[in-house]
Chain A
Amino acid sequence: MHPYRLLLRLYPASFRHEYGAEMSTIFARRRRDAPGPLAGAALWIETIAEVLPNAALVHWDVLAQDLRYVARTLRRTPGFAITAVLIVALGIGATTAAFSVTDFVLIRPLPFPEPDRLVKLWEKTPGYATMELSAPNYHDWKAAAKSFASLGVYRAAAVTMTSAGEPRRFIGSSVSADLLPTLGVAPIIGRAFAADDDRDGAAGTVILSYQWWQTEFGGDPNVVGRSVIFDEKPYTVIGVMSREFHFPTSDVLFWTTNRFGERDYQPQERTNNYLYAVGRLRRGVTLQQARAEMDVIAAQSIQQYPKENKDTGAVLLLLSEEVSNRSRLLLMALSGAAACVLLIACANLANLLLARALGRRRELAVRAAIGAGRERLIRQLMTESLLLALVGGALGIAVAVVAVPLLARLVPATLPIAAAPSVDVRVLMFAARLTLVTGIAFGLAPVVRAGGSPDLDGLREGSRSGGGQKERLRSALVVAEIVMSVVLLVSAGLLIRALLTVQSIDPGFKPEGVLTMRTELPMPAYGRVATREAFYSRVLREIRAVPGVTSAGYVSFLPMGSMRGGIFPVSVKGDVEAANDTRRANNVAAIRYVTPGYFEAMAIPLKRGRDIGASDSRDRQFVAVVSESFVRRYWPGEDPIGRHFTFAFADREVVGVVADVRFRGLERESEPQVYLSSMQVADGAITFYSPKELAVRTTAPPATLATLVPGVRAIIRQADPKVPITRVQMLSDMVDLETASRSVQVRVLSAFALIAFVLAGIGIHGLLSFSVSQRTQEIGVRMALGAQSSDILSMVLRRSVVLAVAGVIPGVALAYAAGRSMEALLAGVKPADAPTLVTAVGLSVLMTVLGSLAPTLRALRVDPISAIRTE
Chain B
Amino acid sequence: MTDLQREADAFLPLPPATFHILLAVADEDRHGYAVIQDVSERTGGELKLSAGTLYRSIQRMLEQGLIVEPRERPAPHEDDERRRYYRITPLGTAVAKAEARRLTQLVRMARAAGFVPGKA
| Residue ranges of A at the interface with B (Cβ–Cβ < 8 Å) | 11, 15, 18-19, 21-23, 25-27, 29, 46-47, 50-51, 53-55, 57-58, 61, 65
Q: Are B84 and A22 in contact (CB under 8 A)?
A: yes
Tell me the minimal C-beta distance from A112 to chain B in angstroms: 57
Q: Are A25 and B58 in contact (CB under 8 A)?
A: no
Select B63's contact among A21, A22, A23, A65, beta carbons within 8 Å: A65
Q: Are A61 and B56 in contact (CB under 8 A)?
A: yes
Tell me the minimal C-beta distance from A16 to chain B in angstroms: 10
Asked whether B59 is an interface residue with its Cβ less than 8 Å from the other chain, the reply is: yes
Residues of B with C-beta under 8 A to A29: 33
Residues of B with C-beta under 8 A to A46: 50
Against A, the Cβ 8 Å flags (1 = close, 0 = not) of B18-53 are 000000000000011100100000000000001111
Select A26's contact among B32, B56, B63, beta carbons within 8 Å: B32
Residues of B with C-beta under 8 A to A21: 82
- Name the 8 nearest CB pairs between A and B, nearest first: A54-B52, A50-B50, A19-B55, A23-B51, A26-B51, A22-B32, A26-B33, A58-B56
Q: Are B60 and A23 in contact (CB under 8 A)?
A: no
Residues of B with C-beta under 8 A to A61: 56, 59-60
Tell me the minimal C-beta distance from A9 to chain B in angstroms: 13
Q: How far is the CA of A57 from the CA of B50 in the complex (A)?
A: 14
Across the two chains, which residue of chain B brings its CB closest to A65?
Answer: B63
* Among A23, A29, A47: residue with most chain B CB under 10 A: A23
Q: How far is the CA of A26 from the CA of B51 in the complex (A)?
A: 7
**Interface of B (DSSP majority class):** helix
Q: Are B83 and A18 in contact (CB under 8 A)?
A: no
Q: Are B51 and A27 in contact (CB under 8 A)?
A: yes
Q: List 22 A-B contacts (CB under 8 A).
A: A11-B52, A19-B55, A22-B32, A22-B51, A23-B55, A25-B82, A26-B36, A27-B51, A50-B50, A50-B51, A50-B52, A50-B53, A53-B52, A54-B52, A54-B53, A55-B52, A57-B56, A58-B52, A58-B59, A61-B56, A61-B59, A61-B60
Residues of A with C-beta under 8 A to B51: 22-23, 26-27, 50
Q: Are A23 and B82 in contact (CB under 8 A)?
A: no
Residues of B with C-beta under 8 A to A11: 52
Residues of B with C-beta under 8 A to A58: 52, 56, 59
Across the two chains, which residue of chain A brings its CB closest to B82?
Answer: A21
Task: With A22-B31, A58-B52, A61-B59 given, name 7 new contacts (CB 8 A).
Answer: A15-B55, A22-B33, A29-B33, A50-B51, A53-B52, A54-B50, A54-B52
Tell me the minimal C-beta distance from A778 to chain B in angstroms: 40
Tell me the minimal C-beta distance from A26 to chain B in angstroms: 5
Q: Are B56 and A54 in contact (CB under 8 A)?
A: yes
Known A-B contacts A25-B33, A26-B32, A26-B36; A18 and B59 likewise in contact (beta carbons under 8 Å): yes
Residues of A with C-beta under 8 A to B32: 19, 22-23, 26
Residues of B with C-beta under 8 A to A27: 51
Residues of A with C-beta under 8 A to B60: 61
8 Å CB interface, B72-93 against A: 82-84
Q: How far is the CA of A217 from the CA of B50 in the complex (A)?
A: 72
Q: How far is the CA of A83 from the CA of B44 in the complex (A)?
A: 59
Q: How far is the CA of A489 from the CA of B84 in the complex (A)?
A: 64
Q: Are A22 and B50 in contact (CB under 8 A)?
A: no
